[in-house]
Structure 1
């Protein structure tokens, strides 16, 4: 048995982009509500930052694929 892998983006790239957009939207909406506090801000930042890094990686990969 041999394992064949292909170079490229993982199949979940679209879900990362959708998740990032969703969490950024949620942060924007909640920041205007009375429920907003430092704890909620930190929690959302902990989710958004890794998604943002993966999104940047996807963009860089796509750019390098074109060049």
Structure 2
């Protein structure tokens, strides 16, 4: 059995989570409940997913080349 090492095995979950959190942040930023701590919480969850997404994209490009 051959398995390929790398990040893309959870790529779909990262992309779906990133899109959902970015959409939720955009919607909530227009509401009355938006404050500084909520913005900070969203940034703490979005930033690692953004780094993972970038790593997956770079891995896929290197895999093609």
Query: 4+ runs of 1 displaced by more than 2 Å?
Result: 4-11
TM-score by length of 2: 0.89
Number of aligned residue pairs: give it. Answer: 64
Aligned-residue Cα RMSD (Å) equals 1.4
Quote the residue 1:40 is aligned against: 38
From the two aligned structures, give the one with the greater helix fraction.
2
> Are 1:62 and 2:60 counterparts?
yes
- Runs (5+) with no aligned partner, structure 2: none
Higher relative contact order (CA 8 A, sep 6+): 2
**Bigger radius of gyration, 1 or 2?**
1
Structure 1 residues 58 and 10, CA, compared in 2 at 3 Å: closer, same or farther? closer
TM-score by length of 1: 0.87
